[in-house]
A and B are shown apart, each in its own frame.
Chain A
Amino acid sequence: MELTKRFSSGGQDVLAVDRLSFAVVPGEAYGLLGANGAGKTTTLRMILGLLEPTSGYAEVDGFRTSESPDEVKSRIGMVSTSAGLYQWLTPRELLLFFADVYGLDDDTAQKSLDRFSQLFDLTPFIDRRCASLSTGQKQRVNLARSMIHDPPVLLLDEPTRGLDVVGSKVIFDYIAAAKKQGKSVIVSTHRLDEAERFCDRFGLLHRGRLMHEGTLPELQSATGCTSLTEMFLQSMPLCGQGEDAA
């Protein structure tokens, strides 16, 4: 609620996120849309507790990030484009390590590993060093890593970047399945066409401020535009001038 983040850059005070408030209910996919520098990634990082908000707070499943960071982190699975893999570990070692970090017992961890290996088709390379994997394979391992503890909340930051059509489909299918399971999903993406397909509601961010929020019909009615791309271009005329802060 009222999440705000200011930081200094080159001696200047930059407002990355400006009093941002939104809520996502279980079983809902929320699309956080915006140009580079709109504050999408910064928002996701504040929700997870990786960045401390200048003011305001984020709450997950009744736990505030600032007060119970570990409770919040254990309930979130974060897929980030900037997240890497441990080069010298195999996907199996890496996934079991993170299962352990999230407090899964050995038996549950093994079951979870088997399940996600099957789901993301990791089996052919599960015992190869991560350094030798292709971009798509790495992204799939990364997805499995962030979901290994089966969190009730998913934060996806550009989840399909670097993936081919087949790889992207796996993500969309998983998001759809996660919604059915009652998980809350927040997706930050540039790919508005894809967002339209699987998000229930949208928040259009521009320079840290929430310009529009609602379901697609609500947004269409509010803006008079038919597609998200149109709305995006209409509501953000200065797109491109505010360079990425996230």
Chain B
Amino acid sequence: MSDQFPPPPLPVKQSLRAEVRPMVRLWRLTRKELRETLRDRRTIITLVLMPLLVYPLLSVAFRQFFFSSSIKPTDLEWRIGGDSEQTLKEFSRHWAIGSQVIEGIDGPEQDPPKVSWDTKPMLEEAVKKGDIDLAVRSKVVPSAGMPGGVQVQYELYFQRDSLLSRSVANYAERRLWAFDQASYYDRLRNRSQNGLPHAVWKRRSLAGETGQVVSMATLVPLILILMTITGAVYPAIDLTAGERERGTLESLMAAPLPRLSMLMAKYFAVLTVALLTAGANLAGMSITVYSTGLGPMLFGDKALTPAAIIIVLSLLILFAAFFSALLLAVTSFARSFKEAQAYLIPFMLLAIAPGFLSVMPGIELSGVLAVVPLVNMVLLARDVLQGTINPLLAGAAVVSTALYGVAALALAARIFGSDAILYGSQGSWADLIRRPEELRDQPSLAGAALCAAVVFALQNVLSGLLALGSAAMPLETRLLLSAALGGILYLVVPLAIARLQFVSLARGFQLTPGQFLAYLGALCLGLSLWAFAHEIVLLTQHLTWLSVDLKKLGTGDFFEKIKHLSPLLLVGTTAIAPAVCEEWFFRGYLLGSLRGRLPGWAAIAATGILFGLFHVIVSGGVGGVRLLPSTLMGLVLGWVCWRTKSVFPGMVLHATHNGLLVLIGRFQDDLAKVGIGVEEQEHLPSWWLVAAAGGVAIGLVLVWLGTRKGLNRK
């Protein structure tokens, strides 16, 4: 021990709380967390060793699977269907000639397949259902210079998910190629002037409906995602429950640091490890796939391109961001490493189970599945690898995952470092849901994110249930139920969460009266904007990624059915109820939570885009055409609310807009009789658009005039 005692004191005040920029502080905290985590050998094992071992082992398993599969086909009887006896007769003749040519080159075939030939009325359906392995259609086209003066054109249908079906198609294709070669040389020998092949063919792959084959292209992203999760689990436990158990969390909490900074540093550390794991896994998988030649077998015609790898990596980053937040939320609950593990095991099973469901054939990235966590990322990654991505659904999957991530982080922030967790014996779980003591003027960002995620998830579950049960219901009941559902989602849920957070009803939901001129402006906008919404729908139909058959939306049927309904019921359920409820949530609650925290344009854009996406999801993904008009409406409604600081003018605008549209549909025939009317898929007359533009301009000016600063001061 030192004898130099006591040491000279440091100037106390000088060393207290030097100002540190939040980002610098966050970086320093994250660096410490990473240093601590990455030095831990257990992390390194998960990070490096697992990918090094797993993918080569999996490749061996895959190759074994494909090898054993490729041996089997010739043991089975090959079922080939044709559209006519004549087709089968001609096709089998070409097949036989082709086989002879190949035998002439390769020698006698060791294990020739047993083939059964049959005609089928519904060839494609038979292939899809697995009744036959290959379907053949033929067409005879006159062609001068050919033997017999005709060319035979075949179409070969096979099931791309079925190894057997693919094998039969490949086998047949090779025989036809050999037959063409033989025929070509024959004609050359006969000095034919026409060098065209005698028979040509096209391969047509069909998605199977048999449910017998697990899609390998889905298995790969699932494995990647599971490995990413594996990488994040250990640091998430160690940096929360582990630190609490070792007593290091208390030292950190005793320091003058914002609790959120500590959590974010831990979050970034967990995320970094998860991303390193994801990167290592993706690299390991790519190298294995390339080096073993498994690519075409796993992903079919679409090989694993660099672009696909980059997109999948981006999806993994997004998923890791979401899951890291979720893991931190769960592990922050735990008071010890053991307790965290106990929480995580059922949680992981719960989280992973839907992921395995997504591997099943026939599961597509649809409206509801696009917002189911993990499933949406697995299916989206599969679509990327197969090159069949739908940007709209991809957007829904990405936005929903990001939203869930923010909500999980908000939850973690509430739990992390609380009395109940830090000192288990001195706090209760009830502390976590205890209401703040002071009334808040606006919802917290965390509360808003949590509310949006809850509404987003409930929206899908409840609207799915409504769709299932409503098929046999009268339209009136469906409309009432739909309005009630909207009330629960957009009115009751935010209200409950706001009450829990002790948010002032009047200020938190912007329930101020608003200005008279603003109401007038909102009315003008509501009467005029529909024309542009209609035009945007028509224009966006030509965009491939938004295109949808309007019949799928059922708008035509809907307008036909409502002709017999009470206008009051219609306006109440499709205009007033949605206007009140949606404005309450999107503008009142969400936009209100962003006021003062984001610039106006950013807050309006964020809620507007969310509003548009919600409307797409509501329609089960087929309503892609609704994205742009709904987003546009969301932006206008957001601007009106931002200017007026009131939710009511927006409700007037929204109700007018919806009411006008539904009443035009309701009285379509009557309007047509007096010469007013337009077909659903036709552009509006120019003068209508000019009038509507005038209405929009007047509306905007009135809102602006009504909300001028000088006027507000008065």
Contacts and interface: CB of A to CB of B under 8 A. Distances in A.
Given A42-B426, A89-B36, A100-B28, A105 B18 contact: yes
B265 to A, nearest CB: 11
Contact of B425 (A75, A78, A150, A245): A245
Nearest to A119: B2
A82 B422 CA distance: 12
Contacts of A216: none
Contact of B256 (A71, A111, A145, A180): A71
Given A80-B247, A82-B247, A85-B248, A101 B15 contact: no
A75 B16 contact: yes
A173 B428 contact: no
A5 B36 contact: no
B35 interface: yes
Contacts of A75: 16
A52 B428 CA distance: 12
Interface stretch (B6-14, B266-274, B700-708): B6-14
A194 interface: no
B251 A88 contact: no
B28, B419, B422, most chain A CB atoms within 10 A: B419
A22 interface: no
B246 A119 contact: no
A8 interface: yes
B6 A181 contact: yes
A88 B16 contact: no
A78 B254 contact: yes
A197 to B, nearest CB: 17
A221 interface: no
B251 A118 contact: no
B255 A150 contact: no
Contacts of A93: 35
Contacts, number: 140
B426 A7 contact: yes
Contacts of A246: 426
A102 B15 contact: yes
Contact of A71 (B17, B18, B430): B17
Interface in A83-134: 83-89, 93, 97-98, 100-105, 108, 111-112, 115, 118-121
B15 A84 contact: no
A121 B1 CA distance: 5
Interface string B1-43: 1101111011010111111100000001100100111011000
Interface string B416-457: 000100110111101000000000000000000000000000
Nearest to A99: B15
B257 interface: yes
A98, A101, A150, most chain B CB atoms within 10 A: A101
Nearest to B32: A97
Contacts of B19: 103
A1 interface: no
Contact of B17 (A7, A80, A84, A103): A103
Contacts of A112: 10, 15
A76 B254 contact: yes
Contacts of B14: 108
A241 interface: no
Contacts of A101: 28-29, 252, 255-257
Contacts of B425: 7, 9, 245
A16 B426 contact: yes
A84 B252 CA distance: 10
A45 interface: yes
Contact of B428 (A7, A118, A152): A7
A98 B255 contact: yes
Interface in B195-254: 246-248, 250-254
Interface string B658-693: 000000000000000000000000000000000000
B246 A84 contact: yes
Nearest to A140: B1
A74 interface: yes
29 contacts: A7-B419, A45-B423, A50-B250, A50-B254, A50-B423, A69-B256, A70-B257, A73-B254, A78-B251, A78-B254, A82-B250, A86-B248, A87-B36, A88-B40, A89-B32, A89-B36, A93-B35, A98-B255, A102-B255, A102-B256, A112-B10, A112-B15, A115-B7, A118-B7, A121-B2, A166-B1, A177-B5, A177-B7, A181-B9
Interface of A: 5, 7-9, 16, 42, 45, 48, 50-52, 69-71, 73-76, 78, 80, 82-89, 93, 97-98, 100-105, 108, 111-112, 115, 118-121, 145-146, 149-152, 166, 169-170, 173-174, 177, 180-181, 245-246
